[in-house]
Amino acid sequence: MPKAKKRRNSDETEAPSKRAANCGPNEHEAAPRNEEDGVVDKREPVYLYKDPDVSTQKTSGLYKPPTFEELQNLKEAEMLFQSNLLKLQVTELLAEIRPKKKPSIDAFLCLLRSVLLSTRPTDPVNLCDAMTSLPRHIQYPLRLNNSPGLKGKFHFVPPQTVKVIGSYLLQSLAKPELNVDVSIEIPQECLQAKDHLNYRYFHKRALYLCHIAAVLKKEKELLTSLKFSYMNSNPLLPIIVLTPILNGKVSKYTVQLYPFIADEMFKVTKLAPDRNNIRDTSAGDGQENPPTPYYNNTLLQDMDSYQRHLHDIFSASQECAAFADAVMLFKVWLRQRGFYKGYGCFNGFLISMLLVYLLHHRKVHKLMTSYHILRITLEHLASNDWTVKGNTLATHDKVPLEKFHAAFEVVFVGSSGYHNLCGDMSSTTYHRVQHEARAALRLLEKESTESFEALFMTKMPFVQCFDAICHIAPVSILAASDDASQQDRAVPAAVRKLCGIAGKGLGGRVANLSIKLQPCKQWLVSKAPPDPNDDPLTLGMLLTDRAFTELELGPPADSTEASTFRSFWGDVSELRRFQDGSINEAVVWESSCDAECRGIIKRIMLHLLSRHFGVSTSDVTFTMAQFDQVLSKPNYKGGGDSPGMYSTGEEMSRRVLQTFEDLNKQLRSLDQLPLSVVSVVGTSPVFRHTEVFPPVPWDGRYRSHFLAALVSEDNSQLQRLCPNPDHSSPPFISPLNVVCQLESSGKWPDEVEAIQQIKAAFYVKMSELLGRECSLISSPTFSHLDVLKDGFVFRIKVVHPWEVALRKSTVKKQKSDGKQAVLEMERDLIMLPMLCSCLLSIHQEFPVFSIGVRLCKRWLYCQLFSNHIRDEVIELIVSDLFRSSSPYEPPSAPAIVLLRFLNKMNSFDWNSITDIARRLLPQEDEEANSELSSHFPAPPTVIQSRIKLLSDKAYTLACSQLSQADQSDVDFKQIFRPPLQDYDVLIHLNKKHNPQAVCALDTSSDVPTSATRWKAFTKLPVVDFDPVRIFVQELEKTFSEFALFFYDSYGGDYIAVAWRPNLLAAHSFKASHANCRSLLSASRSQQVAVDLNSILDDFKVMGSGLVKAVEVLSDSKSP
């Protein structure tokens, strides 16, 4: 290593030596830096030890003491951020979303200003005539048909001023939406003193925009599109949206033109929230017109000058250096949650004004960073309810806040003292902002690397944020108000009434209720404006754990509130006497199964809409349980002790658990066993409520068309029934695996084989005692004991605590190939009982976990991955949706679980399965932790890629289907049907030999089913007999080097085959690789190639009777 030419004295090397103590192992080399940073841009090595030959370094460059700004940043990173990573992520995000300054857009804005100021004025005409004689190819942008008392004249005069306002000027514009706001001041000579009455101002404003649009339409070299839109979807405030041409290309920027008027145009006292400005000529004598607060506030929105707001925001940004960065962070946060656009939205302007308010009240300091400002603002939103006590920027209360609260749901008064900045916002929207602010604070308080991604990088579609969604189409069917003050906003008034009624009716069943904000529509200036009342209304409901309770308890019968309760609920309310003797009004939503319980929310909403709005059921679509149908058995008919339909199977799961509890007690009561039973734990998916189709009890007989398939029961040598391959397969009966642990004893042998023999003896003794003492039919084998109880077959395995350790030691000493068998035993006897216990606790906390994980399994198996991914892996992934649900709340509806699962699979890191298992199943030693990846293995890479591709498409389709207001013709099974175009061969199966055909996705009515009536049994039924599964296992064992096999274990009627890459490549002949290969006839070097015809013939021979046909789909690899 070369040495420096000069020496370094000891005083100058002391500081670097101290700094070196905190350096990492690779930080002894100086990284190249820019000269602007004060660091020499050289790659010469720097020595951090004292060397007599090293030259004296200056105190500048790398050895310069840290500046105040650097020390401040280090201190902030330590005190404010949970980690340096979060600080780096925020800094990188700000750099990514900040657009680069382009002179071309500035030049366009100057040219636009000159064009607008040079327009020619027009002669005055009557206002009604002006509305019918618009410039050519320009349509009127308002949909006000009957404006009372429309008088006055209008003439166009060039704008008084044309100025750039908003985020572009304040440098708080954030990608990807690059909107440049330009204000156009309407001259006072265009207006009259009484234009604030009866919509006259809004008509003249719209006419003024029409003339501006006519002027701009001629500038075809400057613009590519010229459209109208509504400001924040307010139908009284149209604006012009244009896309410029910059340097001969279509610009990414969009310019929006906002008309406004001078502050002194109208007296602001006449526009107070308690004043009326819509004169109803039909009102009788002595009848006063009601206040028009929303009309007045909309007019004040143009009068409460943009220049005043711009001055307030600009002053705040000059005072606080991080102001613009904080606004940009909030814009990203709001956009990801869907608050940024729509009628009554919470946009960047409101955030800017809120930061101005916090600065004025010294809640935000001018030296704070953007991240610190973000946290304080979130705390303010989370802890202050503007629906109860609003904020005001006015120095004097010109209008008391009480008057604003009496007129508006959300109050935030601007600096004028008359304009409510949140006048159009509903209380439901603000409460959802509050809810998201609290969730964001909880994320920031966690020391997690996922906080940043959940806050800023995760888009939260409305359909995923809520458990139940109600679509009402069109929204105009709600509007039935005759109030004169609501003439211009009958639909918004009806929507707010709906939210109030829904909130009262649902009560504690919902934690949050919110209206989906529709994006602002744009249309060509030559087209008529769309009617916003034709849009559907989407109401989202975030459910609580009380959502599915059947009883809605009302007040006592003799109380004054009883009549109000009866009036609200109508004929569904009734008097009921309860066990404590009280008599109350009550509403009972009776349900016979869990699926009907989940429909209680829908029944309540349909009743409220019908009673209070007269809305019919056909106009309402409720999204919550659309996918439940794939978990039902439509051909199943109940009988015996379980009448009714199969529903979605939860009741069968509980019946299995109840039977298992009885069996547990009977096993523990076997006193004549040499060792008593300590614990009995079920390990099958049904015991943790995750079996896709929970089993139904066998009734002790087979239907007539199955009798020929069975060996006669008169043969006393047989303890169980057996199928006959010449006839149809009997219905599938799955054994329910149970792990039985005996009390400890020092007499167990130390050899594996001896332990197995003793366990077999225990099975024989258990079978004898269960038959004699409990009258149960059982069949002992060398590896397990099958017990038939109440129609269910339980497969009991005795676990010895040291058996797994002994097997591991034996495998390690003998270096044999039994490691995989040992891992399977450890998983079945040790890991699965632990997993079952953990998942049961999740199910008890989140009841929807059960049907949610079953839906996810059903989707994966329908995509033909039954033999490629384990049940436990799917359960772990779904459990993480509940334990780590950020940025969402844990789901309470099955459809939402499936949506989030599909979204998660699109970008899931399969290596994280071990981390999920480690968090759920903490192990004592490091070796056990390392083995979790073997117990819960990820699927092969090719399967991971396939799952990612299919989940992405399924998620997009499911979101589209659930977001539709009219779902009458939507096929929700579509996302479960697998695409087959990527496979090479289909092996079609004979349905009569598929015992799982009753579970098929598109099952037909001729599929045989079993009943649930049971009686005394004489033999065990046919257990775990699935010819399709056995056939697939044989195919994989024989042809795994040539192809991958895919099938649906729940009723799939075909097996898909995908040939492996380079299958047809020729190879030199080897005796060990002669299987399914043939010599090439034209080859002189004895090369062989795969004989696909032979493989296809083998498929038919191996599946004789089961295989109906073999279909070749792909010609690219056909022989």
Could you write out the DSSP letters of every residue in 67-95?
Answer: PHHHHHHHHHHHHT-SSHHHHHHHHHHHH
CA-based Rg of the chain, rounded to a whole angstrom?
A: 37
pLDDT at 2 over 60: no
User: 1025 or 25: whose pLDDT is higher?
Assistant: 1025
DSSP states of 364-429: S-TT--HHHHHHHHHHHHHH--TTTS-EE--SS-SS-HHHHHHH-SS-EE-TTSS-BTTTT--HHH
Mean pLDDT of 443-467: 88
Contact (Cβ atoms closer than 8 angstroms) between residue 788 and residue 1021: yes
Residue pointed to by tokens 């005795």: 798
Give residue 699's pLDDT band: very low, low, confident or very high (50, 70, 90): confident
User: Quick check: 989 pLDDT over 90?
Assistant: yes
Least reliable range by pLDDT among 312-316, 778-782, 807-811, 1007-1011:
1007-1011
Average pLDDT over residues 529-548: 89
Spatial contact of 748 and 757, defined as CB atoms under 8 Å apart: no
Spatial contact of 673 and 759, defined as CB atoms under 8 Å apart: no
* Strands of 683-735, DSSP E: none
Q: Assess whether pLDDT exceeds 90 at residue 480.
A: no
More reliable by pLDDT, 799 or 1015: 799
Mean pLDDT, residues 227-237 taken together: 92
Phi-psi region of 628 (alpha: psi -120 to 50; beta: other; left: phi over 0): alpha
Query: What pLDDT was estimated at residue 719?
Result: 60
Average pLDDT over residues 484-512: 81
pLDDT in tens, 629-688: 999 887 665 544 444 467 888 989 999 999 999 999 999 999 899 999 999 999 999 999
Tell me the per-residue pLDDT of 540-552, one tens digit each, with 9 for 90 and over.
999 999 999 999 9
Per the structure block, which two tokens stand in for 1022? 């046919």
* Predicted local confidence at residue 576, as pLDDT: 92
- The whole-number average pLDDT for the span 1104-1118 is 79
Q: Which of 48-62, 200-214, 468-482, 735-749 has the highest mean pLDDT?
A: 200-214
pLDDT band at 924 (very low <50, low <70, confident <90, very high): low
The pLDDT value recorded for residue 1074 is: 63
Share of the chain above pLDDT 70, in %: 83
For the chain, first and last CA: distance in Å?
65
Enter the tokens of residue 897.
Answer: 């679980």
pLDDT for position 326: 95
Q: Residue 748 pLDDT > 50, yes or no?
A: yes
Nearest alpha carbon to residue 666 among 836, 794, 834, 833: 794
Distances in Å between the Cα of 728 and the Cα atoms of 482, 990, 1021, 1032 are 69, 10, 15, 19
Res. 702: pLDDT tops 80: no
Q: Categorise residue 644: left if φ over 0, alpha if ψ from -120 to 50, beta otherwise.
A: left
At residue 11, the pLDDT reads 42
Mean pLDDT value across residues 434-449: 88
Is 346 a residue whose pLDDT tops 90?
yes
Q: What is the pLDDT of residues 392-422, one digit of tens each?
A: 998 887 889 999 999 999 999 998 899 999 9
Mean pLDDT, residues 1039-1043: 90
H-run or E-run covering 1067: strand 1067-1068
Q: Is the pLDDT of residue 281 over 80?
A: no
Please, which pLDDT band fits residue 27 given cuts at 50, 70 and 90? very low
SS3 call for 622? strand
Spatial distance between the Cα atoms of 727 and 326, rounded to a whole number of angstroms: 73
184, pLDDT greater than 80: yes
**pLDDT at res. 642:** 46
Residue 210: pLDDT above 90? yes
The maximal CA–CA distance of the chain, rounded, in angstroms, is: 113
Contacts with 69 (C-beta within 8 Å, 6 or more apart), sequence order: none
Predicted confidence (pLDDT) at residue 761 exceeds the cutoff of 90:
yes
In tens, the pLDDT along 318-328 reads: 999 999 999 99
How much is the pLDDT for 135?
A: 87
Give pLDDT tens digits for 578-615: 988 899 999 999 998 888 999 999 999 999 999 998 88
- What is residue 885's three-state secondary structure? coil
Residues 1079/1069, Cβ–Cβ less than 8 Å: yes
| Average pLDDT of every residue of the chain | 84
pLDDT of the residue at 9: 41
Tell me what pLDDT residue 1016 has.
Answer: 43
**Angle 585-591-592 from CA coordinates, rounded to 5°:** 140
One-character DSSP codes across 779-839 = EE-SS-EEEEETTEEEEEEEE-TTHHHHHHHHHHHHT-S-HHHHHHHHIIIIIHHHHHHHH
pLDDT greater than 60 at residue 1119: no
pLDDT at 736: 95
Integer Cα distance of 93 and 89 in angstroms? 6
Query: ∠ CA 596-600-603 to the nearest 5 degrees?
Result: 110
Residue 736 dihedral angles phi and psi, to the nearest 5°: -100, 110
Q: How high is the pLDDT of residue 34?
A: 43
Sign of the torsion angle spanned by Cα atoms 596, 598, 601, 602: negative
Tokens of 1112: 């070749």
pLDDT at 147: 62
- Residue 44: is its pLDDT beyond 70? no
Quick check: 967 pLDDT over 50? Answer: yes
Percent of the chain with pLDDT over 90: 51
Cα gap 198→292, rounded to integer Å: 11
Q: What's residue 1072's pLDDT?
A: 61
At 919, the pLDDT band (50, 70, 90 cuts) reads confident
pLDDT of residue 524: 94
Here the tokens at position 26 are 């690779």
Least confident of 311-325, 658-672, 993-1007, 1019-1033: 993-1007
Tens-digit pLDDT profile for residues 832-846: 999 999 999 999 999
In the predicted model, is pLDDT for residue 706 greater than 80?
A: no
Q: What are the Cα distances from residue 1026, in Å, to 401, 665, 988, 1008, 1050?
A: 73, 31, 16, 15, 10
pLDDT at residue 131 greater than cutoff 50: yes
Which whole number is the average pLDDT over 105-119?
A: 93
Kindly state the average pLDDT of the residues 9-29: 39
Show the 3-state SS of 115-138.
HHHCCCCCCCEEHHHHHHCCCCCC
pLDDT in tens, 65-87: 878 777 766 666 665 555 667 78
